[in-house]
Structure 1
Amino acid sequence: MDTGPTSTLPPRFADLKREIAESYPDFEERVTKAWGEILDELSKVTRDMTETGSEYIPQVDFAELQTLSADKVREIQRKGCVVIRNVVDDEDALSWKQALEDFIKSNPDVEGVPEDNKQFFQLYWTKSQVLARSHPNMLATSAWLNNLYHTKSDLTIEGVDLSVPLSYADRFRIRRPATHWPVHPPHIDGGAIERWEDVTFRTCFADILSGNWRAHDPYDLKGRLDARSSLYNRPNQSTVFRTFQGWLAMSETAPTEGTLKVFADVLLSNAYIILRPFFRPLVSMDSEEVLDAGNWEFDISSSEFPGIHPRDGGFAGPKPTPIHHPHLNLDQTMLSVPKVNPGDTVFWHCDVVHSVEEEHTGKGDSAVMYIPSVPLTPQNEAYVKRQYHDFVEGNRPSDFPKGAGEINYVGIGRPGDILTSEAKRAMGVPIAVS
């Protein structure tokens, strides 16, 4: 497994560590105690994940979302991921895939990778994608996932409605069998160094930084809504608050067939990754002794934030690796999601460590459309309104790399394909033209 970049970060990030340490009473004492507790808990969870495998990941049916037990909901929240089955009919999902195949054949110059065998496409506005995003069951699923979040005080936040889903345009992949895919090792999206550097974003992890890591609530909206997850305007860096990232399956896909992998414990992974920059090993990183909490010490003299590296004028990550984050035991704990069928969906919390299997050993395509869950917030609503204009013009949404527009492609989706009032609201359609 890739151990990731080793680039040195700017010296000012050592000052950032000191600033954080000075912001919390008895920081060294409290986080050192927490660090030992987290490492002990990680060893236990590693055993559970390894013994259970893919079935460790929660699975539910779309029809039962509103009647799930409180225990099942808590399990989904703790693990931060879920397979939701039968969200759309098999026939719809299969027809969308066929239409995408036809679109690619009709427009052979579309941008995709690998260049000599395109499988991941820089396309956002095909009719299949527009229909899938606006499907009432996809919107209902998004609203249910959004409502897993809350405010600790239960206060109403102006301009925020978790029951109103918005639509964030993303891409799709049709991965062919026997292809090697090394480009998505374990990582977290939605903010890199920003998790520590942006003062508002940092409040999401205040309980961890105060040493009270067990009280950390990954579903507390405080800090999430105004967090700046993109301080450096890097391309491919979401400026929208996605409660869950997700995809809709358009084919059967099973473990070893190029599917998603996740570290299914968002509380523990957050606690470990947020505190990791404040500790250094006293033994070699590739030794067995490195797993012993007694072989680590508090240290804020370095500018390094393991898993964060310079990229495109800013910083990318977090990208945990076996070398720099040994206690995550990534070789054992990154679990492939269970087999899915066309019309099933997979969702993972915005903080969850995830990756894509490098090999696809199956016999058929592994095809998914990326459709995250996005709630109504002032910042998100402003984005989807701009996104609608990109849709009308056939341009790529602003969060994504610049490139050719799609307006002249055969088979492009149009505003008339958005049929319901709920879907129009989700897509940012102006009331005057709705």
Structure 2
Amino acid sequence: MSKPELGPCPPRLVEVKQEIAASYPNFQERVTKAWADILGELEKVTAEIASQGPKAVPEVTFSELQNLSPERREDIRRNGCVVIRDVVDDTEAESWQAWLREYVTANPGVEGFPDNDKQFFQLYWTRSQVRARSHPNVLAVTSWLNNMYHVKSGAKIENVDLDTPLSYADRFRIRHPGVQWDAHPPHVDGGSIERWEDKVFRNCFAEILSGDWRKHDPYDLENRINARSSLYNRPNQFLQSTVFRTYQGWLALSETGPNQGTLQVFPNVGLSNAYTILRPFFTPVDSGSTDSFDLAAGNLVGCYISNPDFPGIYSMGSGFTGPRPNPETHPHLRLNETMVSMPQVCPGDMVFWHCDLIHAVEKQHTGTVDSAVMYIPAVPYTPQNAAYVERQRESFLKGIPPPDFPVGNGEITFTGVGTPDDIENPVGKRAMGFAIEVS
């Protein structure tokens, strides 16, 4: 898979910064004070994360979800990630992996990468994927996660049902040991420059931009459900998904853990949001220096609204990618130490991370067996999401890639392709768009 050409932000984006600065009273004074507070909090929190490693990721079992204490729920909310164990029986999960392997073998023309040894597959409609997405336990978990969200103001939002999960078709990987992957460094999905440019999306971070960053709630639905996460209608949308996913996630089909090509996260969603959103308004004191600025708060000054730079956001010609924080542009996150790997998981366990969370994939897989997962996020019923699922249903029936994904050859002629008959329960049928009405 070739990497896209990344370029600097265009000059017009200085207007976005200036518009934001003009929208909040005493912007420079308030965000400069907030920035110092954020850096102080990061110094403490990053040290804790680095010392904890994978233990920073909360772990629960499927059977205890409905009886979790408020303290454990708040731990999941604060960290923005969770491992949920025993969602699916391990033998069933293992059988799904076996079916995937049979599918790939029976259909040698499947699309994936690397070209010479395919491990990440551009496939969406295998029988395994259809059954996993529509499994009642999987949908119960995503509904539980959707209900981590709320409307902070108490306002009534019509036609939104957090108890009605929808299904977002994505792909799967079967990663081999010893193969290095460089395609997924730390990044945030679900929108790029849109976080600042789209006014509704921007309002998800209003407390941060007003200087009251500690009041920021990453789980507030009010603006989130109408935020435009893709303004540029680029193909291959999945990183800037047109669907609101409360959490991204995957289902383990094999054992996998640290140093085995697993997911990594920065486990504090509110703090990373605050830093990411305000970072474009600050610059190194010596802006002409080629050296990375260190962790001292004095090495960044603001409020910097006279240039178009949004560190971690890159132009791609027809749109933008990012945020892609790295140690040079976002040094206070200490990403070399704080991107913690998921703990060891078994077949049938699931891993989820908040839609704003910084995440990555380990470059190395030093284990001895393949690491296999299916990507299954948490998606609530909203009008926009339901409209997408209806289009996705038509893609399913035609055997072609879903609307958010690259146009491909499709799977309709493949041996073993999934069909609506593989959706074995009413909740799964509704989630897949075959009975979309809210109950």
Check if 1:181 corresponds to 2:186: no
Distance (whole Å) between structure 2 residues aligned to residue 167 and residue 286 of structure 1: 46
Structure-1 residue corresponding to 2:252: 249
Distance (whole Å) between structure 2 residues aligned to residue 6 and residue 193 of structure 1: 14
Cα distance change on mapping 1:346 and 1:431 into 2, 3 Å: closer
Check if 1:101 corresponds to 2:101: yes
Contact 2:284–2:293 (CA under 8 A) maintained in structure 1: no
| Aligned length, in residue pairs | 429
Structure-1 residue corresponding to 2:364: 359
Q: Which piece of structure 1 moves more, 289-298 or 166-175?
A: 289-298
Normalization by structure 2: what TM-score?
Answer: 0.96
Contact 1:164–1:375 (CA under 8 A) maintained in structure 2: yes
Structure-2 residue corresponding to 1:293: 297
- Could you tell me how far 1:15 is from its partner in structure 2? 0.9
Query: Does the residue aligned with 1:152 lie in a helix, a strand or coil?
Result: coil
- Could you tell me how far 1:7 is from its partner in structure 2? 2.5
Structure-1 residue corresponding to 2:131: 131
Specify the code of the residue in structure 2 equivalent to 1:346.
Answer: V
Contact 2:7–2:316 (CA under 8 A) maintained in structure 1: no
Contact 1:119–1:176 (CA under 8 A) maintained in structure 2: yes
User: For 1:270-305, what per-residue CA distance to the aligned partner results, in whole angstroms no more than 9, with x for missing partners?
Assistant: 000000000001147775763111121111111010
Specify the code of the residue in structure 2 equivalent to 1:300.
Answer: I
User: 5+ residue gaps in structure 1?
Assistant: none
Structure-2 residue corresponding to 1:218: 218
- Could you tell me how far 1:6 is from its partner in structure 2? 6.9
Structure-2 residue corresponding to 1:315: 320
- Could you tell me how far 1:117 is from its partner in structure 2? 0.3
Contact 1:283–1:290 (CA under 8 A) maintained in structure 2: no
Q: How does 1:338-417 map to 2 (within 5 A)?
A: 338-417=343-422
Structure-2 residue corresponding to 1:303: 308
Check if 1:239 corresponds to 2:242: yes
Percent identical = 60
- Could you tell me how far 1:72 is from its partner in structure 2? 0.5
Check if 1:267 corresponds to 2:253: no
Q: How does 1:185-200 map to 2 (within 5 A)?
A: 185-200=185-200
Distance (whole Å) between structure 1 residues aligned to residue 361 and residue 278 of structure 2: 25
Distance (whole Å) between structure 2 residues aligned to residue 64 and residue 223 of structure 1: 31
Query: Does the residue aligned with 2:99 lie in a helix, a strand or coil?
Result: helix
Check if 1:25 corresponds to 2:29: no
Distance (whole Å) between structure 2 residues aligned to residue 238 and residue 216 of structure 1: 23
- Could you tell me how far 1:46 is from its partner in structure 2? 1.1
- Could you tell me how far 1:152 is from its partner in structure 2? 1.1
Q: How does 1:102-121 map to 2 (within 5 A)?
A: 102-121=102-121
User: 5+ residue gaps in structure 2?
Assistant: none
Structure-2 residue corresponding to 1:72: 72
User: For 1:315-335, what per-residue CA distance to the aligned partner results, in whole angstroms no more than 9, with x for missing partners?
Assistant: 000000110000010000000
Structure-1 residue corresponding to 2:284: 281
Contact 2:292–2:328 (CA under 8 A) maintained in structure 1: no
Distance (whole Å) between structure 2 residues aligned to residue 110 and residue 308 of structure 1: 32
RMSD (Å) for aligned C-alpha atoms: 1.5
Check if 1:9 corresponds to 2:9: yes
Distance (whole Å) between structure 2 residues aligned to residue 431 and residue 309 of structure 1: 37
Structure-2 residue corresponding to 1:82: 82
Normalization by structure 1: what TM-score?
Answer: 0.97
- Could you tell me how far 1:420 is from its partner in structure 2? 1.2
User: For 1:241-285, what per-residue CA distance to the aligned partner results, in whole angstroms no more than 9, with x for missing partners?
Assistant: 000000000000010000000000000100000000000011477
Distance (whole Å) between structure 1 residues aligned to residue 346 and residue 435 of structure 2: 35
Specify the code of the residue in structure 1 equivalent to 2:61.
Answer: D
Contact 1:5–1:309 (CA under 8 A) maintained in structure 2: no
Distance (whole Å) between structure 1 residues aligned to residue 7 and residue 404 of structure 2: 25
Contact 1:79–1:264 (CA under 8 A) maintained in structure 2: yes
- Could you tell me how far 1:430 is from its partner in structure 2? 4.7
Query: Does the residue aligned with 1:222 lie in a helix, a strand or coil?
Result: helix
- Could you tell me how far 1:154 is from its partner in structure 2? 3.0
Distance (whole Å) between structure 2 residues aligned to residue 188 and residue 153 of structure 1: 26
Structure-2 residue corresponding to 1:148: 148
